Amino acid sequence: MADILELKNVSFSAQDQVIVRDFSYQYEEGKTTALTGPSGGGKSTVLKLSAGLLVPSHGEVIYKGRNIAHMSRKENLEFREEGAFVFQDSALWANQSLFQILELPLLVHFPGMSAAEREKRIQETLAAVGYKKELNIRPSMLSMGEQKLIGFARALVCRPRLLFLDEWTESLDDSAANRLVRLVKNRQEAHETILFVSHDLRIIRNLADNVLMILGGELSRTFTREQLNSDEDLALYLEKGIAS
Ligand SMILES: Nc1ncnc2c1ncn2[C@@H]1O[C@H](COP(=O)(O)OP(=O)(O)O)[C@@H](O)[C@H]1O
Ligand SMILES: [Mg+2]
């Protein structure tokens, strides 16, 4: 399979601190890659760099052969439409209704869509993530888990081909988490490219084609699905690595 997204010697520093160091990896098109490792290791930063939400201090992020930092406005808008991000803390706008939050990406990326079509698309997406409550309320009225579902729906509403998911099953009960796992599986079957951050070995085993272990801001090791499932020592190492 072709490579869709590539990090080339990417480093990221903030406040005189190196957070990601010389990170290189080629994500495969149509595959699911899990980013794992201990808290504070740099997983969210690598995911945001991969999605073009942070600009590297050094190195390049290449999407379909183009450096994200040097894209034209039009190319950048296309990249934003094709890729969607679910944030670790959901990151929903506090002063907007849930409907407005879900409608905005459609207004930006599909300006020709009618109000009725937008409404239909939003309802379909909410049914897929399993959110059943009303939409004319603000995010502060939701539990953390419900906010996650809305964050997921916002990411899916434009039907992206590239999904970035950060700690996406955290704060969900088992039934909501299982629903999202099934949803991700459906998208895998449609050969979409998925990058996700998780500490949950069960979810990683269930979904990932490739696993990146990130320690101290560096790519420490990579594993394939076969290695994860067949090698018990490796599973132990991974469990310890995640727990440490
Ligand atoms: N903008 C920033 N400024 C300063 N420190 C940051 C910034 N972003 C992340 N960090 C620090 O970098 C480290 C890695 O963060 P993060 O990528 O969120 O790790 P993870 O997702 O693996 O828990 C943490 O110690 C975090 O506090
Ligand atoms: Mg994180």
- Tell me: the pLDDT tens digits for 136-162? 999 999 988 899 999 999 999 999 999
Calculate mean pLDDT across residues 6-19. 96
Distance CA 189, CA 210 (A): 16
DSSP letter at 29 equals T
The best mutation among 43, 44, 45 to test binding of ligand 1, ranked by most ligand atoms within 8 Å of the C-beta, falls on 45
Q: Which protein residue has the closest C-alpha to ligand 1 atom 2? A: 14
Question: CA–CA separation, 66 vs 8, rounded Å?
Answer: 12
Q: Which atom of ligand 1 is found nearest the CA of 88?
A: 21
Residue-averaged pLDDT of the chain: 91
pLDDT tens string 96-130: 999 999 999 999 999 999 999 999 999 999 999 99
Centroid of ligand 1 to alpha carbon of 46 (angstroms): 10
Residue 2 has what pLDDT? 65
User: Contacts by 188-193 with C-beta closer than 8 Å and gap 24+?
Assistant: 188/32, 191/29, 191/30, 192/30, 192/160, 192/161, 192/162, 192/163, 193/4, 193/5, 193/27, 193/28, 193/29, 193/30, 193/31, 193/32, 193/161, 193/162, 193/163
Q: Which residues surround ligand 2, an ion (CB under 5 A)?
A: 44
Q: What pLDDT, in 10s, does the model give residues 26-75?
A: 999 999 999 999 899 999 999 999 999 999 999 999 999 899 999 998 89
Give distance in angstroms: CA of 25 to centre of ligand 2.
Answer: 19
Indicate the pLDDT class of residue 172, thresholds 50, 70 and 90.
confident
| Residue 14 alpha carbon to ligand 1 centre in Å | 9
Given a cut of 90, whether residue 11 has pLDDT beyond it is: yes
The per-residue pLDDT for 1 is: 54
Averaged pLDDT, 186-213: 92
